[in-house]
Structure 1
Amino acid sequence: MKTQVVMAVAFASTLAVANPVVAQDRAGWPDNFTVGTASQGGTYFAYGAGWANFVAESLGVSGGAEITGGPMQNMALVHTGDLKFGLTTMGPARESMEGNSPIAPGMKMDNVCAMFPMYETPFSVTALTSSGITSISDIPDGATIGFGPAGSTSDTYFPRMMETLGVNFERRNGSWSDLGTQLQDGLIDVVAFAAGIPIPAVSQLEVQTDVNIIGMTDAEAKKVVDNFPVSEFIIPANTYQSLEKESRVVSMWNFAMANCDVPESLVYEITKLTMENNERMVSIHKAAQFSIPENYTKNKVLPWHKGAARWFNENGYTIEQSNIK
Structure 2
Amino acid sequence: MKLRQKSLYLVVFLILTMMLVACSSKETGNASNTTSQDAESTVEGSGSSNGPTSLTIMGGTTPGGTGDLVATIGENAARIAFPNAAIRKTPGGTTEVVTKVEKGEVEIGYGLPPSNYEAFHGIGLYNGEKHENIRFVLALNDPSYITILALESSGINSLEDLKGKRIGIGDGRTLTSIAAKEILKAAGLTDDIMKKSGGGILTGDWGEQYRMLGDGQLDAVISGAQHPMTAITEMSATKKVKLVPFEEAVLKKVIEKAKWYITEMPANTYDWQKESYLTIAVASHLITNKEVPEDWIYEFTKAFWENQEKVVWPVKQSWNGIDYSKDALIGNDDIIPIHPGAEKYYKEVGLLP
**If the length of structure 1 is used for normalisation, what is the TM-score?**
0.81
1:274 is aligned with what amino acid?
F
Which residue of structure 1 aligns with residue 279 of structure 2?
249
Which residue of structure 2 aligns with residue 174 of structure 1?
204
Question: Does the aligned pair in 2 maintain the 1:117–1:296 contact within 8 Å?
Answer: yes
Which residue of structure 1 aligns with residue 243 of structure 2?
213
- Report the alpha carbon displacement of residue 287 of structure 1 after superposing the two structures with TM: 5.6
* Aligned mate of 2:131, from 109, 124, 138: 109
Higher CA-based Rg: 2
Which residue of structure 2 aligns with residue 298 of structure 1?
331
* Aligned mate of 1:203, from 233, 247, 250: 233
Instruction: Spell out, residue by residue over 1:109-133, the C-alpha distance to the aligned partner (whole angstroms, 9 max, x if none).
Output: 1111100112322111111222122
Residue aligned with 1:127, SS = strand
2:78 is aligned with what amino acid?
V
- CA distance in 2 between partners of 1:94 and 1:227 (Å): 11
* Structure ranking higher in helix proportion: 2
Instruction: Spell out, residue by residue over 1:154-175, the C-alpha distance to the aligned partner (whole angstroms, 9 max, x if none).
Output: 1222201211022353221112
Which residue of structure 2 aligns with residue 236 of structure 1?
266
1:55 aligns to 2:78 (yes or no) = yes
- Report the alpha carbon displacement of residue 36 of structure 1 after superposing the two structures with TM: 1.2
* Aligned mate of 2:155, from 132, 135, 143: 132
- CA distance in 2 between partners of 1:293 and 1:175 (Å): 34
1:264 aligns to 2:298 (yes or no) = no
- CA distance in 1 between partners of 2:344 and 2:61 (Å): 32
* RMSD value, Cα: 2.5
Question: Does the aligned pair in 2 maintain the 1:198–1:287 contact within 8 Å?
Answer: no
Deviates more, 1:73-82 or 1:251-260: 251-260
Residue aligned with 1:94, SS = helix
- CA distance in 2 between partners of 1:171 and 1:310 (Å): 45
CA distance 1:214–1:64, change in 2 (3 Å): farther
Residue aligned with 1:284, SS = coil
- CA distance in 2 between partners of 1:85 and 1:208 (Å): 38
Question: Does the aligned pair in 1 maintain the 2:157–2:244 contact within 8 Å?
Answer: yes
- CA distance in 1 between partners of 2:349 and 2:80 (Å): 24
Percent same amino acid at aligned positions? 22
Which residue of structure 2 aligns with residue 307 of structure 1?
341
- Report the alpha carbon displacement of residue 219 of structure 1 after superposing the two structures with TM: 4.0
Structure 1 runs (4+) greater than 6 angstroms displaced: none
CA distance 1:231–1:290, change in 2 (3 Å): farther
Unmatched segments (≥5 aa) in structure 1: 1-22, 320-325
CA distance 1:266–1:125, change in 2 (3 Å): same
Deviates more, 1:203-212 or 1:174-183: 203-212
Question: Does the aligned pair in 2 maintain the 1:75–1:96 contact within 8 Å?
Answer: yes
1:316 aligns to 2:316 (yes or no) = no
CA distance 1:290–1:301, change in 2 (3 Å): farther
- Report the alpha carbon displacement of residue 304 of structure 1 after superposing the two structures with TM: 0.6
1:318 is aligned with what amino acid?
L
CA distance 1:244–1:301, change in 2 (3 Å): same
CA distance 1:64–1:293, change in 2 (3 Å): farther
CA distance 1:257–1:144, change in 2 (3 Å): same
Unmatched segments (≥5 aa) in structure 2: 1-45, 195-199
- Report the alpha carbon displacement of residue 294 of structure 1 after superposing the two structures with TM: 3.0
1:136 is aligned with what amino acid?
L
Which residue of structure 2 aligns with residue 122 of structure 1?
145
1:66 aligns to 2:83 (yes or no) = no
1:159 aligns to 2:181 (yes or no) = yes
CA distance 1:126–1:287, change in 2 (3 Å): farther
- CA distance in 2 between partners of 1:240 and 1:121 (Å): 15
Residue aligned with 1:52, SS = helix
Question: Does the aligned pair in 2 maintain the 1:78–1:86 contact within 8 Å?
Answer: yes
Residue aligned with 2:268, SS = helix
- CA distance in 2 between partners of 1:36 and 1:247 (Å): 31
- Report the alpha carbon displacement of residue 138 of structure 1 after superposing the two structures with TM: 2.8
CA distance 1:163–1:105, change in 2 (3 Å): closer
